[in-house]
Amino acid sequence: MRATCKQKMKKKASYARDLATYLNVSEAELTHARVGHDAKRLHGDVRDILTALATVGEVKAITRNEIAVHEHLGEYTNARFNDHAGLILNPRALDLRFFFSHWASIFALTEETARGIRHSIQFFDLHGDSLHKVYTTDNTHMDAWNTLIDTYLSPENPVLEITPAKSFTDAPVTTALAQQLEQQWRSMTDVHQFFKILQENNLSRQQAFKAVSDDLAYQVDNSALKTLLALAKEVQK
Protein backbone atom coordinates (compact mmCIF):
# COMPACT_ATOMS: atom_id res chain seq x y z
CA MET A 1 0.00 0.00 0.00
CA ARG A 2 2.82 2.40 0.88
CA ALA A 3 4.37 2.20 -2.61
CA THR A 4 1.03 2.79 -4.32
CA CYS A 5 0.29 5.66 -1.94
CA LYS A 6 3.63 7.31 -2.66
CA GLN A 7 3.09 7.08 -6.43
CA LYS A 8 -0.42 8.51 -6.25
CA MET A 9 0.57 11.36 -3.92
CA LYS A 10 3.00 12.67 -6.53
CA LYS A 11 -0.02 13.71 -8.56
CA LYS A 12 -0.92 17.34 -7.98
CA ALA A 13 -4.59 16.83 -7.06
CA SER A 14 -4.17 13.81 -4.79
CA TYR A 15 -5.66 14.12 -1.30
CA ALA A 16 -5.46 11.49 1.43
CA ARG A 17 -9.24 11.13 1.46
CA ASP A 18 -9.29 10.48 -2.30
CA LEU A 19 -6.34 8.09 -2.09
CA ALA A 20 -8.05 6.07 0.61
CA THR A 21 -11.14 5.74 -1.57
CA TYR A 22 -8.96 4.73 -4.53
CA LEU A 23 -7.26 2.03 -2.43
CA ASN A 24 -10.57 0.90 -0.89
CA VAL A 25 -9.39 1.55 2.66
CA SER A 26 -10.26 4.10 5.31
CA GLU A 27 -8.20 7.27 5.64
CA ALA A 28 -7.02 6.10 9.07
CA GLU A 29 -5.74 2.83 7.59
CA LEU A 30 -3.93 4.77 4.87
CA THR A 31 -2.30 7.01 7.48
CA HIS A 32 -1.45 3.98 9.61
CA ALA A 33 0.45 2.52 6.62
CA ARG A 34 2.47 5.74 6.35
CA VAL A 35 3.96 5.42 9.85
CA GLY A 36 7.71 5.17 9.47
CA HIS A 37 7.61 7.25 6.28
CA ASP A 38 5.90 10.60 6.83
CA ALA A 39 3.57 9.76 9.73
CA LYS A 40 3.99 9.07 13.44
CA ARG A 41 1.51 7.35 15.74
CA LEU A 42 0.48 9.31 18.81
CA HIS A 43 -1.11 8.00 21.97
CA GLY A 44 -2.62 9.45 25.11
CA ASP A 45 -5.89 11.08 26.06
CA VAL A 46 -7.22 13.20 23.22
CA ARG A 47 -8.24 15.87 25.74
CA ASP A 48 -4.64 16.21 26.89
CA ILE A 49 -3.42 16.61 23.31
CA LEU A 50 -6.07 19.20 22.48
CA THR A 51 -5.19 21.06 25.68
CA ALA A 52 -1.47 20.95 24.84
CA LEU A 53 -2.20 22.55 21.46
CA ALA A 54 -2.73 25.82 23.35
CA THR A 55 1.06 26.04 23.68
CA VAL A 56 1.76 26.09 19.92
CA GLY A 57 -0.01 29.34 19.06
CA GLU A 58 -1.79 29.82 15.75
CA VAL A 59 -2.82 26.76 13.75
CA LYS A 60 -5.33 25.92 11.04
CA ALA A 61 -8.20 23.67 12.18
CA ILE A 62 -10.03 21.64 9.54
CA THR A 63 -13.11 19.45 9.88
CA ARG A 64 -14.72 18.03 6.75
CA ASN A 65 -16.94 15.42 5.21
CA GLU A 66 -17.94 14.64 1.62
CA ILE A 67 -20.21 17.67 1.46
CA ALA A 68 -18.54 20.50 3.35
CA VAL A 69 -15.26 21.77 4.79
CA HIS A 70 -14.92 23.89 7.94
CA GLU A 71 -11.55 25.64 8.06
CA HIS A 72 -10.43 28.20 10.60
CA LEU A 73 -7.26 29.87 11.86
CA GLY A 74 -6.86 30.35 15.59
CA GLU A 75 -5.47 29.09 18.88
CA TYR A 76 -6.63 26.16 21.01
CA THR A 77 -7.04 28.33 24.09
CA ASN A 78 -9.97 28.47 26.53
CA ALA A 79 -10.53 24.71 26.42
CA ARG A 80 -13.28 23.09 28.48
CA PHE A 81 -13.47 19.28 28.58
CA ASN A 82 -15.35 16.54 30.41
CA ASP A 83 -15.54 12.77 29.86
CA HIS A 84 -17.92 13.03 26.93
CA ALA A 85 -17.52 16.41 25.26
CA GLY A 86 -15.44 19.54 25.02
CA LEU A 87 -15.26 23.13 23.87
CA ILE A 88 -12.63 25.43 22.44
CA LEU A 89 -14.37 28.66 23.31
CA ASN A 90 -13.10 31.64 21.34
CA PRO A 91 -16.09 33.44 19.79
CA ARG A 92 -15.35 34.94 16.36
CA ALA A 93 -12.08 32.99 16.37
CA LEU A 94 -11.45 29.28 16.95
CA ASP A 95 -14.78 28.13 18.38
CA LEU A 96 -15.21 24.33 18.37
CA ARG A 97 -17.40 21.62 19.89
CA PHE A 98 -16.21 18.03 20.39
CA PHE A 99 -17.94 14.75 21.27
CA PHE A 100 -15.35 12.11 22.17
CA SER A 101 -17.22 8.80 22.11
CA HIS A 102 -15.99 7.89 18.62
CA TRP A 103 -12.43 9.30 18.72
CA ALA A 104 -10.07 6.36 18.22
CA SER A 105 -6.62 7.09 16.73
CA ILE A 106 -4.20 10.00 16.38
CA PHE A 107 -1.29 10.60 14.01
CA ALA A 108 1.25 13.35 13.37
CA LEU A 109 2.25 13.90 9.74
CA THR A 110 5.11 15.72 8.04
CA GLU A 111 4.33 15.83 4.32
CA GLU A 112 6.22 17.12 1.31
CA THR A 113 3.93 19.22 -0.87
CA ALA A 114 4.31 21.53 -3.85
CA ARG A 115 4.19 24.42 -1.35
CA GLY A 116 6.78 22.97 1.00
CA ILE A 117 6.71 20.89 4.17
CA ARG A 118 3.30 20.59 5.84
CA HIS A 119 2.91 19.51 9.48
CA SER A 120 -0.33 18.26 10.99
CA ILE A 121 -1.97 16.27 13.77
CA GLN A 122 -4.92 14.20 12.56
CA PHE A 123 -7.67 12.52 14.57
CA PHE A 124 -9.76 9.58 13.30
CA ASP A 125 -12.88 7.81 14.51
CA LEU A 126 -13.73 4.15 15.09
CA HIS A 127 -14.69 3.78 11.43
CA GLY A 128 -11.38 5.13 10.16
CA ASP A 129 -12.84 8.44 9.01
CA SER A 130 -11.15 11.77 9.66
CA LEU A 131 -12.68 13.68 12.56
CA HIS A 132 -10.42 16.68 12.86
CA LYS A 133 -7.07 17.90 11.50
CA VAL A 134 -4.75 20.57 12.89
CA TYR A 135 -2.13 22.13 10.60
CA THR A 136 0.75 24.42 11.46
CA THR A 137 1.00 27.90 9.93
CA ASP A 138 3.87 30.36 9.52
CA ASN A 139 2.93 31.69 12.97
CA THR A 140 2.96 28.36 14.80
CA HIS A 141 5.56 27.92 17.56
CA MET A 142 7.38 24.93 16.05
CA ASP A 143 9.49 24.22 19.13
CA ALA A 144 6.32 23.77 21.16
CA TRP A 145 4.75 21.76 18.32
CA ASN A 146 7.71 19.36 18.21
CA THR A 147 7.68 19.04 21.99
CA LEU A 148 4.01 18.09 21.85
CA ILE A 149 4.71 15.42 19.22
CA ASP A 150 7.60 14.01 21.24
CA THR A 151 5.51 13.96 24.42
CA TYR A 152 2.71 11.90 22.90
CA LEU A 153 4.74 9.83 20.43
CA SER A 154 3.80 6.16 20.56
CA PRO A 155 6.71 3.69 20.59
CA GLU A 156 4.56 1.26 18.61
CA ASN A 157 2.00 1.38 15.81
CA PRO A 158 -0.72 -1.04 16.94
CA VAL A 159 -3.21 -2.45 14.47
CA LEU A 160 -6.29 -0.31 13.96
CA GLU A 161 -9.61 -1.83 15.00
CA ILE A 162 -11.96 -0.48 12.33
CA THR A 163 -15.68 -0.95 12.99
CA PRO A 164 -18.37 -0.52 10.31
CA ALA A 165 -20.52 2.59 10.61
CA LYS A 166 -24.15 2.07 11.54
CA SER A 167 -26.50 2.29 8.62
CA PHE A 168 -28.54 5.48 8.50
CA THR A 169 -32.27 5.27 9.12
CA ASP A 170 -35.09 7.77 8.86
CA ALA A 171 -37.89 5.24 9.31
CA PRO A 172 -41.10 6.66 10.83
CA VAL A 173 -41.44 6.31 14.60
CA THR A 174 -44.48 5.05 16.48
CA THR A 175 -47.20 7.46 17.55
CA ALA A 176 -46.40 6.87 21.22
CA LEU A 177 -42.71 7.60 20.71
CA ALA A 178 -43.50 10.70 18.66
CA GLN A 179 -45.68 12.03 21.49
CA GLN A 180 -42.97 11.30 24.06
CA LEU A 181 -40.34 12.96 21.88
CA GLU A 182 -42.44 16.07 21.41
CA GLN A 183 -43.06 16.36 25.14
CA GLN A 184 -39.32 16.07 25.85
CA TRP A 185 -38.51 18.58 23.12
CA ARG A 186 -40.92 21.19 24.51
CA SER A 187 -39.50 20.64 28.00
CA MET A 188 -35.94 21.47 26.94
CA THR A 189 -34.31 24.41 28.69
CA ASP A 190 -31.08 24.27 26.66
CA VAL A 191 -30.53 23.28 23.02
CA HIS A 192 -27.65 21.01 24.09
CA GLN A 193 -30.21 18.72 25.76
CA PHE A 194 -31.45 17.66 22.32
CA PHE A 195 -28.55 15.27 21.72
CA LYS A 196 -29.30 13.40 24.95
CA ILE A 197 -32.96 13.10 23.95
CA LEU A 198 -31.96 11.50 20.66
CA GLN A 199 -29.72 9.02 22.48
CA GLU A 200 -32.38 8.12 25.04
CA ASN A 201 -34.89 7.37 22.29
CA ASN A 202 -32.37 5.80 19.87
CA LEU A 203 -33.38 8.19 17.10
CA SER A 204 -31.57 9.97 14.30
CA ARG A 205 -32.06 13.71 13.92
CA GLN A 206 -34.05 13.14 10.74
CA GLN A 207 -36.43 10.78 12.51
CA ALA A 208 -36.97 13.31 15.27
CA PHE A 209 -37.53 16.20 12.87
CA LYS A 210 -40.17 14.24 10.94
CA ALA A 211 -41.94 13.02 14.08
CA VAL A 212 -42.72 16.34 15.78
CA SER A 213 -45.21 19.10 14.96
CA ASP A 214 -44.37 21.68 12.30
CA ASP A 215 -43.91 24.45 14.86
CA LEU A 216 -40.86 22.54 16.13
CA ALA A 217 -39.40 21.30 12.83
CA TYR A 218 -40.39 20.98 9.19
CA GLN A 219 -38.61 20.15 5.96
CA VAL A 220 -37.55 22.91 3.56
CA ASP A 221 -36.23 22.77 0.02
CA ASN A 222 -32.58 21.77 -0.35
CA SER A 223 -31.86 25.15 -1.93
CA ALA A 224 -32.55 26.78 1.45
CA LEU A 225 -28.99 26.08 2.60
CA LYS A 226 -27.52 28.00 -0.32
CA THR A 227 -29.88 30.89 0.39
CA LEU A 228 -28.99 30.87 4.10
CA LEU A 229 -25.25 30.93 3.42
CA ALA A 230 -25.67 33.76 0.91
CA LEU A 231 -27.64 35.79 3.48
CA ALA A 232 -24.99 35.13 6.14
CA LYS A 233 -22.32 36.35 3.75
CA GLU A 234 -24.26 39.56 3.13
CA VAL A 235 -24.68 40.16 6.87
CA GLN A 236 -20.90 39.83 7.38
CA LYS A 237 -20.32 42.57 4.84
Could you read off the pLDDT of 177-186 as tens digits, one per residue? 999 999 999 9
Amino acid at 129: D
pLDDT along the chain (237 residues), means of 10: 53 72 93 96 97 97 89 95 91 90 95 92 96 97 98 96 84 93 96 91 93 95 92 83
What is the per-residue pLDDT for 227? 93
What is the per-residue pLDDT for 175? 95
Domain ranges of the chain: 2-152, 175-236
SS3 200: helix
Note the helical H segments in 10-168: 16-23, 27-33, 46-52, 142-152
Which residues are 42's β-sheet partners? 106, 153
Q: How far apart are CA 102 and CA 204, in angstroms?
A: 16
User: What is the pTM for the complete model shown?
Assistant: 0.82
Same fold, 2-152 and 175-236: yes
Q: How far apart are CA 62 and CA 21, in angstroms?
A: 19
Q: At what angle do helices 193-201 and 175-186 cross, to 10 degrees?
A: 160
What is the per-residue pLDDT for 135? 98
**b vs e for 152-174, b when ≥16 Cβ sit within 10 Å of the residue's Cβ?**
bebeebeebebeeeeeeeeeebe
What is the per-residue pLDDT for 13? 44
What is the per-residue pLDDT for 7? 52
CATH number of 2-152: 3.40.1570.10
What is the per-residue pLDDT for 4? 53
Choosing among 3.40.1570.10, 3.40.50.880, 3.60.15.10, 2.120.10.30, the CATH entry for 175-236 is 3.40.1570.10
